[in-house]
Homo-oligomer: A and B are copies of this chain.
Amino acid sequence: MNEKYEKMWEDLGLDISAHDGLLKVLGQFYGDIYLSQDKRLKGMEYLDFVLSEVHGLRIKELQDARAAGKKIIGTFCMFVPEELICAANSTAVGLCAGAEIGKEAAEKILPRNTCALIKSFVGFKLAKLCPYVESCDLVIGETTCDGKKKAYEIFQEYVPMHIMELPQMKGACDRDLYMTEVLKFKAKIEEVSGHDITADNLKEAIKLINNRRKALQRLNQLRKAIPTPISGRDVLLINQISFYDDPWRFTAKINELCDELEKRVQAGEGIVENDIPRLMMSGCPMAVPNWKLPYVVESSGAVIVGEESCIGTRNTRDLVDETGETMEKMINALVDRYMRIDCACFTPNPERLEHIVEMAKDLKVNGVIHYALQFCHPYTIEAYKVEKALEQENIPLLRIETDYSMEDIEQLKTRVEAFVEMVK
């Protein structure tokens, strides 16, 4: 696709030759990890297409939308209420943060001991390799963790940002604080987009985003079948793409894929044999193209049947109540929904432990792999409580701490294979 989009990438200020190199590596990587899979669903062709055009056609669409007056709002976190962005006739996109790119440049302004995700989004910007961030009229940060909170202060020197403060507990004053932040965010989006958010357009936006969540909930219901009809890698990819793709089209395509899955489940067809160990991933988000660990797991004789993560069920579990007709009721419904998120940034965070145990039982998994990015204090420390909670249910846990480099892949394989052998 390179020739077709070169002018656009140049206009966006990308480093063309480095970007060509990135796409080449990404293509090979995708081929090895995704296209090599057996018994893949026909519906995955759409996802393959989207991924192959993730820096091409989708960026073209964003540029066309901008030319037509829409604003593009970049986000890093599921705490940002996308409904308000859509209601203001704007488009929300997740930003590149899943590859070890621009690491050296990032480490000039951030400590080496910063998690790979943060170094990645800073690195993508400094190395001029993320067409999404270059397409943004505004980027939204949030105070979920110390690393992001403080890194945004520096990142703001490079991109226009708005920072949402998040509370750290879930009491009444925390809800008040988050409500204030949602209202500030609404005002900011209205200002940047030049569009008023009304009860009518917000109602539509709530439905739109709920429908995407419902499609992903349906997918998660179907994959529970034994044998599972879809690989964990594919579901991760679907979740990843949900942050980039047009929500109307994406929802329709995922529902089509679910129709196909339904038939497969009815026919008792799986992508693996019945006796292959079923594992669940739990922990930090895996941003595109961070497929390292799922690939290791699914090449070690196991299959992934659940992702307890922001790029997974944490993002799709809760719907926004759709019954409100007034702005006040709808904003309250948004605040209620987002305050239910069980991110490790909260203290205490018992809901996450309950969700993990519940999911592990519901999915009938043989074990859980807790995945944390190195230097991510919230998830690496909370892993201790996750382990205790699963221990009480006799569900084995493997704790993995890693980053985006490929240096530890053999070591990961050894550990995962031993775990799979143990839980068989």
Contact = CB atoms under 8 A, between A and B. Distances in A.
A381 B166 CA distance: 20
A414 interface: no
Interface string A344-387: 11011100000000000000000000000011011011111100
B153 A348 contact: yes
A169 interface: yes
Contacts of A109: 384
B380 A163 contact: no
Nearest to A379: B150
A150 B114 contact: no
Contacts of A79: none
A52 interface: no
B113 A147 contact: no
Contacts of A151: 381
Interface string A245-288: 00000000000000000000000000000000000000000000
Interface string A212-256: 000000000000000000000000000000000000000000000
A124 interface: no
Contacts of A163: 347
B113 A146 contact: no
Given A375-B113, A378-B146, A382-B150, A174 B168 contact: no
A82 interface: no
Interface of A: 109-111, 113-114, 143, 145-147, 149-154, 163, 165-169, 171, 173-174, 176-177, 180-181, 344-345, 347-349, 374-375, 377-378, 380-385, 401
A180 to B, nearest CB: 4
Given A146-B145, A347-B149, A111 B154 contact: no
Nearest to A164: B169
A153 B114 contact: no
A113 B173 CA distance: 32
Contacts of A174: 165, 177
Contact of A149 (B152, B168, B383): B168
A82 B344 CA distance: 29
Given A109-B384, A173-B180, 14 more contacts: A111-B383, A111-B401, A113-B374, A113-B375, A113-B380, A143-B168, A146-B381, A147-B377, A150-B347, A150-B378, A150-B381, A152-B347, A153-B382, A168-B168
A345 B146 contact: yes
A345 B110 CA distance: 16
A294 to B, nearest CB: 22
A210 to B, nearest CB: 28
A146 B377 contact: yes
